[in-house]
Amino acid sequence: MVRPENLNDALKTLSRGGMTICAGGTDVMVYPPENARLLMVDRLPELKLIEDLGDAVRIGAAVTFTEGIESPIVPELMKAALRRIAAPAIRNMGTFGGNIGNGSAKADSVLIDFVLDAKLELASIRGTRTPDIDKFYLGRKKLDLAPDELIAAIFLPKPKGSWYYEKVGGREALAISRLSFAGVIDVRDGVITSLSAAFGAVADTVLRFKELEAMLTGKSLDEARAMKPDFIAAYDRAIVPIRGRVSETWRKEVCLNLLRDFLSQNGI
C-alpha cells in the first residue's frame, strides 16, 4: 500500500508501475484483484478541491458524490444525477474520478460530463493533458489513459439555459442505472442557440450525436416544432443499443420518449 502525501509523489509511484489506483474502492472491491498493491488517492489534497472558474467548475477526481451534492458550486444538473446514485453509503465513498476510471457507460456522473462537454485533467510525471471527455472514452471499458497517468480533475462547464435529467432504473435506489438521459438547451429570443442530448447505459459508451444536435441549433422554436418528427427519426436511426437484460427495442423507445419529453418541456 502506498498513501502519498501529494500529487507529485503519487505520480512518481505510479510511474514505477505495479500499482492499482484506488479512491473510494466501491468498484475495485466488488472483485478485488488478488495481491494487488493499492495506490491510495482518496486523500490527495490536489484531488479533493472543487473550484469555481466562472464558466466552469473544476472538480477534483477524489471528490466524493456526497461532497459534490453538498457543494454550493457544483451545477444542479450534476447534483440531480448524483442524488440518483445508489444509496448514501455508496455516495459517501464513490468519487468522480472512480466513476470515470470504471469505464462504464452506465456511470451516472459521466453522462453529465458528456452532455456538458467536460474536459479531463490527466496527470503523469511527463506532464498534464486535458482531453475532451468523448475523446477519452475509446470504446467499451477502453480509456485513453496511459499506465503512468491518473485522472486529476474534471473541468465541467456550467449549463447554459435549461436542463433535463431522467434515470429509468430497475429497483429505485440501488440498481446501477439501466438507462439515463440528460439534455441542455439554450433559447434566446425564441431561437435555439445551443442544444445537447446524451444517453447513458444504452451503448458501450455514453452516446451523443453532435451532427444531429446541429439540426436544431439556430432554428426558431416554431421551426424546431415542425422539424421534431424528422429530428426524432434521425435519432431513431442513429441509436444502436447494446443487447442488455432489457430488450433493445424497449431501450430505444425509452430513449426517444425521453428526448421527446425534453423537447416538449422546452416548448418544442
Partner 1 sequence: MIEFVLNGEKVSWEGPDTERLLDVLREDFRLTGVKCGCKEGECGACSVIFDGELANSCLIPMAKADGAEIMTIEGLRELDCFRVLDRAFAEPAAVQCGFCTPGMVLAAYSLLKKNPHPDENEIRDGLSGNLCRCTGYRAIVEAVKLAAKEGGKW
Ligand X SMILES: Cc1cc2nc3c(=O)[nH]c(=O)nc-3n(C[C@H](O)[C@H](O)[C@H](O)COP(=O)(O)OP(=O)(O)OC[C@H]3O[C@@H](n4cnc5c(N)ncnc54)[C@H](O)[C@@H]3O)c2cc1C
150 binding partner 1? (CB under 8 A):
no
157 within 8 A of 59, measured Cβ to Cβ: no
34 is a contact residue toward partner 1 (CB under 8 A) = yes
Sketch the per residue contact string, 170 through 189, with ligand X: x for CB under 6 A, - otherwise.
Answer: ----x-xx------------
Please, what is the minimum distance in Å from the beta carbon of residue 23 to partner 1? 9
Q: Is 234 exposed, middle or buried (0-12, 13-18, 19+ CB in 10 A)?
A: middle
Shortest distance (Å) from residue 117 CB to partner 1: 30
Decide: is 60 part of the binding site for ligand X (CB under 6 A).
no
Residue 199: CB partners within 8 Å, gap ≥ 6?
111, 179, 180, 181, 206, 207, 208, 239, 255
By CB under 8 A, residue 169 contacts partner 1: no
Amino acid identity, position 28: V
Please select the residue that binds ligand X; options are 10, 14, 19, 27, rule is CB under 6 A: 27
Query: Which residue, 48 or 158, has its beta carbon nearer to ligand X?
Result: 48
Confirm if 150 and 38 have CB atoms less than 8 A apart: no
User: Is the Cβ of residue 178 or residue 219 nearer to ligand X in the bound state?
Assistant: 178
Cβ-proximal residues to 31 (8 Å cutoff; 6+ apart), any chain: none
Query: What is the binding site for ligand X (CB under 6 A)?
Result: 20-28, 30, 41, 61, 85-86, 90, 93-95, 97-99, 101-102, 107-108, 150-151, 174, 176-177
Query: What is the binding site for partner 1 (CB under 8 A)?
Result: 1, 3, 22, 24-26, 28-30, 32-38, 40, 42-43, 66, 86-90, 92-93, 172-174
